[in-house]
């Protein structure tokens, strides 16, 4: 009797394994939802629109980009960790240092840094300090000198709180010994109107916006190791005497618990798409990357350490 029971139990396990293997081999079989937790028009949205048709072709199913903005990404990430099923059919765009800084600084962030199954980090964009073309601040020194004499008068817009933009502004305050006023927006999308309409003195955003706005703006400095090819006339902060290098890595994640076979299929698809859209992204100031697996997890830790002096002052 025990022998028969063991045999039946063994068959049951083998059957389950076979069925799971068949399911993995068939992934994906139905449409995939790709959530961008920011407004339309920003870097994450622009990239997702480039990716969308190629992902559909490679994966063989519709891929629908949707938006769930709020809290500099926190609203979308919080909802995702609460409700998304770990089956590969609901994905979300990720940004670092956002997903590191927000849970540390905001008790109500609603999500955890570790609560994602990272598929890949596919590109990086340096931060850039941008003013209107007719701004009285013709150079970074002009802005710093004015801010030194007029604490908190310079208003600087950016995407989200404790995001790459916000943290870079805090670093500029630290490096230049000035007090600025940060104005958070739900994403990059609303920032051009805020700057061009005179609602903020400057923006701490990304190189893509400097490229897009062209002659309407002046890029005072870029937070990169070297000058960005798409903005050859914009000096780096380091050229101007400030040790500021940083920006946002963007990628995509699935819910924790998503089978590794599905993550591998998705990572491969996003990697192939990265090469296809490279010629569209690089002229906009994006630096293409492809961190997957443990490398993707390690990158989150490294970026957190890079901003440690701001996120955890005094430690």
For the stretch 87-131, pLDDT in tens is 999 999 999 999 999 999 988 899 999 999 999 999 999 999 999
CA distances from 50 to 65, 94, 214, 280, 281 (A): 11, 16, 21, 8, 9
Beta strands in 41-143 (DSSP E): 63-67, 90-96, 117-132
Domain ranges for the chain: 126-222
Give the containing element (helix H, strand E) for 185: strand 181-185
**Of residues 81, 82, 44, 86, the one with CA closest to residue 65:** 44
Kindly compute the dihedral angle of the four CA atoms of residues 185, 78, 266, 33, in this order, to the nearest 10 degrees: -80
pLDDT tens sequence across 157-205: 999 999 999 999 999 999 999 999 999 998 899 999 999 999 999 999 9
3-state secondary structure of 138: coil
pTM of the model: 0.84
| pLDDT average, residue stretch 233-249 | 96
More confident residue, 179 or 4: 179
Q: What pLDDT score does 309 carry?
A: 85
One of 3.20.20.150, 3.40.50.620, 3.40.190.10, 3.40.50.150 is the CATH number of 126-222, namely 3.40.190.10
């Amino acid at each position: 009797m025990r022998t028969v029971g063991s045999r039946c139990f063994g068959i049951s396990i083998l059957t389950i394994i076979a069925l799971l293997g068949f399911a993995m081999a068939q992934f994906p079989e139905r449409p995939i939802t790709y959530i961008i937790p920011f407004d339309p028009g920003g870097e994450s949205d622009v990239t997702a629109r480039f990716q969308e048709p190629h992902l559909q072709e490679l994966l063989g199913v519709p891929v629908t980009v949707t938006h769930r903005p709020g809290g500099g990404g926190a609203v979308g990430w919080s909802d995702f960790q609460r409700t998304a099923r770990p089956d590969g059919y609901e994905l979300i765009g990720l940004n670092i240092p956002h997903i590191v800084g927000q849970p540390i600084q905001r008790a109500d962030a609603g999500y955890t840094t570790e609560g994602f199954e990272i598929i890949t980090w596919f590109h990086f964009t340096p931060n850039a300090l941008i003013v209107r073309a007719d701004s009285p601040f013709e150079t970074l020194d002009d802005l710093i000198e004015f801010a030194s004499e007029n604490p908190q008068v310079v208003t600087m817009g950016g995407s989200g709180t404790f995001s790459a933009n916000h943290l870079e502004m805090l670093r500029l305050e630290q490096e230049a010994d000035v007090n600025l006023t940060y104005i958070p927006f739900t994403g990059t999308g609303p920032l051009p109107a805020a700057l061009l309409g005179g609602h903020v003195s400057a923006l701490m955003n990304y190189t893509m916006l400097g490229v897009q706005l062209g002659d309407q703006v002046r890029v005072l400095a870029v937070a990169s190791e070297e000058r960005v090819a798409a903005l050859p006339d914009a000096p780096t902060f380091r050229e101007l005497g400030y040790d500021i290098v940083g920006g946002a890595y963007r990628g995509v994640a699935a819910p924790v618990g998503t089978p590794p076979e599905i993550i591998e299929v998705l990572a491969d698809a996003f990697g192939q798409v990265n090469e296809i859209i490279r010629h569209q992204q690089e002229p906009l100031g994006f630096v293409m990357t492809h961190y997957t697996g443990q490398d993707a997890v390690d990158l989150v830790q490294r970026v957190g350490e890079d901003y440690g002096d701001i996120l955890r002052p005094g430690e």
